[in-house]
C-alpha cells in the first residue's frame, strides 16, 4: 500500500479531534467515513463539520470550494464496521480512556482489511499497549495530531515495536500529502509533545495554587516571553542560543529553591564542563555549525519581528 493509492479513510470518534482530522483528509481529496457511538452522533458531527467549514471558508481560513469538498467527501456510514470495511486508512479518535480505546481498536482491526493502516490519536497512552488488541499489528501506529487539526502544522508519528517500516513511511507520506510536518518519535508515555506540555502545565498550576502568580499573569508572561519564542524554535535550540552556562547558573538557584525536579540535566552540565556553551562557543546540544550562526541569528531576529507584528495585528484574544 503506497500513500499515493490512499483514497479512502474512516475516522472513528468524530468529535473535536476526529472531526478536524476528517476535514483535513477530506480537503486532500480522500473519501472519509465518519463513525461514532451511534449513527445519529456521527450524522450530527457531519453537519457540524460542514457548517464549520462554511464559516472558515467565508472568513478566508479555508480556500474557496473547501466547504463543498468537505460536504462531498465526508459521509456517514450506518455503522463503524461499514465505515472501516474497505478503506486505506483509519484514524481512531475516541476518548482518552484505555478501555474505550482497546475496545474500539479491536473492533476496527477485526472489521477492516489486513493492509489498512490504522493510526491512533491517543494523547499519552503507549502505542505498544494499544497494539496488543490490533490484529496484524504491523499496520498500526500512533499518528498524534494537535488541536485544531486543520491549522496546527505538526503531527507526531509513533511506531510500536511491531509496526512495519512500510506502515511508518505510508503514514509519513500521507501527512506530507496533507501538508503536515510529520516527526517520528519513540513510543514513551506522552510522546514528546504532551510530556513537555503537561510538565509546563503542572508547574503553572502549582504556581497558581501557591499564589506565586494569578492565572492571567502566568498566561501573559508565557505567551509574551518564552512561549512566544517556542512558536519558532524548540527548547534545545533556544538554550543553545541563550548559552548553556546561563542555564547552568539558573538551575543552581532553582534546585536550591525547588529541589530535585530542578536539578540541572546531566547532559547539559557535561556540555558546560567541556566548554560547549551553545552558539557563543561554537557547540551545544543542537550541534549548530558555527558557520551557520550569523544566518541563524539574522533569521531569528526577522522571525521574531514578524511574529511580534502578527501579534499586534491580531490584538488580544477575546475573553482572555
Ligand X SMILES: NC(=O)c1ccc[n+]([C@@H]2O[C@H](COP(=O)([O-])OP(=O)(O)OC[C@H]3O[C@@H](n4cnc5c(N)ncnc54)[C@H](O)[C@@H]3O)[C@@H](O)[C@H]2O)c1
Footprint of ligand X (CB under 6 A): 12-18, 36-37, 41, 93-96, 100, 104, 121-123, 145-147
From the CB of 37, what's the least distance to ligand X, in Å?
Answer: 4
From the CB of 83, what's the least distance to ligand X, in Å?
Answer: 10
Using an 8 Å Cβ cutoff, are 128 and 160 in contact?
Answer: yes
Pick between residue 37 and residue 164 the one whose CB is nearest to ligand X: 37
d(C-alpha 127, C-alpha 115), whole Å? 18
From the CB of 19, what's the least distance to ligand X, in Å?
Answer: 7
Other Cβ atoms closer than 10 A to 221: 14
Measured in whole angstroms, how far is the alpha carbon of residue 176 from the centre of its chain? Answer: 14
Query: Of all residues in this chain, which one has the CB nearest to ligand X in the complex?
Result: 15
Maximum Cα interatomic distance, the chain, rounded to a whole number of Å: 64
Measured in whole angstroms, how far is the alpha carbon of residue 77 from the centre of its chain? Answer: 28
From the CB of 205, what's the least distance to ligand X, in Å?
Answer: 17
C-alpha cell at 12: 472513528
Pick between residue 14 and residue 131 the one whose CB is nearest to ligand X: 14
Pick between residue 12 and residue 158 the one whose CB is nearest to ligand X: 12
Classify residue 270 as exposed, middle or buried by CB count within 10 Å of its CB (0-12, 13-18, 19+): exposed
Pick between residue 36 and residue 172 the one whose CB is nearest to ligand X: 36
Pick between residue 10 and residue 237 the one whose CB is nearest to ligand X: 10
Pick between residue 147 and residue 217 the one whose CB is nearest to ligand X: 147
Task: Tell me: cis bond preceding 148? Omega within 30 of 0 counts.
Answer: yes
From the CB of 152, what's the least distance to ligand X, in Å?
Answer: 9
- What's the chain's length in residues? 320
From the CB of 194, what's the least distance to ligand X, in Å?
Answer: 8
d(C-alpha 217, C-alpha 27), whole Å? 39
Amino acid at each position: 500500500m503506497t500513500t499515493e493509492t490512499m483514497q479512502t479513510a474512516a475516522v472513528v470518534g468524530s468529535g473535536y479531534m476526529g472531526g478536524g482530522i476528517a476535514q483535513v483528509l477530506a480537503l486532500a481529496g480522500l473519501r472519509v467515513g465518519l463513525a461514532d457511538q451511534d449513527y445519529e452522533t456521527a450524522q450530527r458531527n457531519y453537519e457540524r463539520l460542514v457548517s464549520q467549514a462554511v464559516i472558515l471558508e467565508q472568513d478566508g481560513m479555508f480556500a474557496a470550494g473547501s466547504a463543498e469538498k468537505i460536504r462531498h467527501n465526508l459521509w456517514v456510514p450506518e455503522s463503524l464496521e461499514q465505515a472501516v470495511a474497505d478503506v486505506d486508512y483509519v484514524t481512531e479518535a475516541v476518548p482518552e480512556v484505555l478501555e474505550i480505546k482497546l475496545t474500539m481498536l479491536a473492533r476496527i482491526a477485526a472489521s477492516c482489511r489486513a493492509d489498512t493502516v490504522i493510526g491512533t490519536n491517543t494523547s499519552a497512552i503507549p502505542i505498544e499497549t494499544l497494539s496488543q488488541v490490533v490484529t496484524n499489528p504491523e499496520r498500526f501506529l500512533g499518528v498524534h495530531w494537535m488541536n485544531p487539526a486543520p491549522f496546527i502544522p505538526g503531527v507526531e508519528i509513533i511506531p510500536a515495536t511491531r509496526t512495519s517500516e512500510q506502515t511508518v513511511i505510508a503514514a509519513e507520506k500521507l501527512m506530507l500529502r496533507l501538508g503536515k510536518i510529520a516527526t517520528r518519535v519513540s513510543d514513551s508515555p506522552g510522546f514528546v509533545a504532551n510530556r513537555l506540555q503537561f510538565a509546563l502545565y503542572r508547574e503553572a498550576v502549582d504556581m497558581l495554587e501557591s499564589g506565586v502568580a494569578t492565572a492571567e499573569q502566568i498566561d501573559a508572561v508565557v505567551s509574551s516571553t518564552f512561549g512566544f519564542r517556542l512558536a519558532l524554535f524548540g527548547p534545545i535550540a533556544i538554550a543553545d542560543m541563550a548559552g548553556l552556562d546561563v542555564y547552568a547558573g539558573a538551575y543552581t538557584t532553582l534546585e536550591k529553591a525547588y529541589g530535585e525536579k530542578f536539578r540541572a540535566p546531566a547532559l547539559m552540565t557535561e556540555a558546560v564542563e567541556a566548554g560547549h556553551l551553545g552558539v557563543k562557543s561554537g557547540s551545544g546540544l543542537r550541534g549548530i555549525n558555527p558557520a551557520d550562526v550569523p544566518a541563524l541569528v539574522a533569521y531569528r531576529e526577522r522571525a521574531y519581528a514578524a511574529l511580534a507584528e502578527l501579534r499586534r495585528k491580531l490584538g488580544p484574544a477575546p475573553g482572555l
